[in-house]
Amino acid sequence: MKPSLSRIVQQQIKSPSPIRQIMKMADRKNIINMGLDPDDVISFGGGWVNHEAPERLREIYLDVVHDRELFHRTGGYSATPGDMETREALAEMERHLFGMNIGPENIIVGQGSTQLTHDIFKTIADPGDGIVLLDPTYANYEGQLIYTIGNDIGDRIEARVYRLRVMDTDSWQFMPDVDDAVERLKTLYSVKKPKIIMFPAPDNPTSQIPPEEFAKAALDLSKDFGGYLILDFAYKTQVFGKEPSYFSWSPRDHENLIAILSNSKWGRGLGRRLGWLEASEEVISGMERTQQVTILCPDTLHQMVTTRYIEESIKDGSLKQYIEDVKKDYKNAADITINAIDEHLGMRRLVPQGGLYTVMDVGMDGDEFVPEILKNTGVLFIPGIGFGESLKNAVRISYGPLVNDTGKIEEGIKRVADYLNKKK
């Protein structure tokens, strides 16, 4: 008898995410097969930052690698929750940037937000527990939930996900009526009694920031029902205006609050995997046990370098300046993107409040729009449906990878406009 993969993996292979499918479409071989020049393709699909990491960070890596003793130490295990010096430095960074009341006992270091999200689901919830996600929201959550707390219902393994619609497609606004969103959330809790509510701030794919009143209601409701609020702060340092006060909330003050952060976006450490989770001491203790059977310990080299960089850059004032400079670059790329859409396409879009994205109403099924546009213009978008039903007729546009080549932003939008105008 031929051996087989697990049921859950077989199920997930048969049901790839829309983003995974479209990224396969963007593969170089596929582009060539479509009769396009891969070097001529302009991609708005990438969910990554493209600014330079701090130069001092790079220099510290060199210092460590060139020092035989230090480099030898990077080959050793760190503690499962991370080195105490690193946890101290991350707590100090939160105090320095956001005035947060937090200490190292509230932090566990991991290998990035994806691993930490997987492990926190496993730590605080059981199969069959419910979770509230926004519609739209980050496309990877549902797959992670199926793997961690999915419930076997016979022919499938499914997670109990309850979607709260926050995108008004009539007005093309994100949560235009906060009171209504809060009331619908209260009703959802009273009926479904979920264990978790989770959302990013700024959001992916909309780059909107859920209002303070909504965050407060989510925190209070999750506490009342014996659950947790998880804030995904992947883009925490990339807010273009004033941050809401919940960016400074601490698990010292709210035992049901959990925050997930990483070096991926602010310091462009996407491939240098290091992230951290902030929570009560009880949750941190649980996460430590979970990480013992997933990653064992976070990367020692990245911890050593990150710790030294944070300590130095806070002391000399360069950390805040670096973050402000990067933020201005992405605000500029966002402005160019919105202006290009308005001038050339005239389609409804959201003005980014931070992050890397906007979502645009294309007036037809995004799954059909995206391959048609790619084939005829060499411009790649991401279909909106992967983020929620509310974006079925929309696409996500990412200006992140083009932050240093903003001319391509306008060129790509204009190509699409030229093609659509010829179709009329």
Q: What's the angle, vertex CA 239, arms to CA 237 and CA 244, rounded to 5?
A: 100
Q: What's the whole-model pTM score?
A: 0.96
Whole-Å CA distances, 115 to 118, 119, 272, 290, 296: 5, 6, 13, 11, 12
Digit-coded pLDDT (tens) for 59-91: 999 999 999 999 999 999 999 999 999 999 999
Amino acid at 135: D
**Beta-carbon neighbour count of residue 405 at 10 Å?**
12
DSSP annotation of 218 reads H
Domain ranges of the chain: 7-52+320-423, 55-317
Beta-carbon contacts of 254 under 8 Å, excluding residues fewer than 6 positions away, are 219, 223, 229
The CATH number of 55-317 is 3.40.640.10
How many helices (H) does the chain have, and how many strands (E)?
Answer: 15, 16
Mean pLDDT of 53-64: 98
Task: Provide CATH code, domain 7-52+320-423.
Answer: 3.90.1150.10
pLDDT one-digit tens code per residue, 224-252: 999 999 999 999 999 999 999 999 999 99
Question: Which amino acid is present at 396?
Answer: R
Q: Residue 20 pLDDT > 80, yes or no?
A: no
Residue of 141, 93, 62 whose CA lies nearest to 388: 141
Give the C-alpha distances (Å, rounded to integers) separating 170 from 246, 261, 317, 352, 353: 29, 33, 46, 19, 20
- Provide the pLDDT confidence category of residue 30 given band limits of 50, 70 and 90: confident
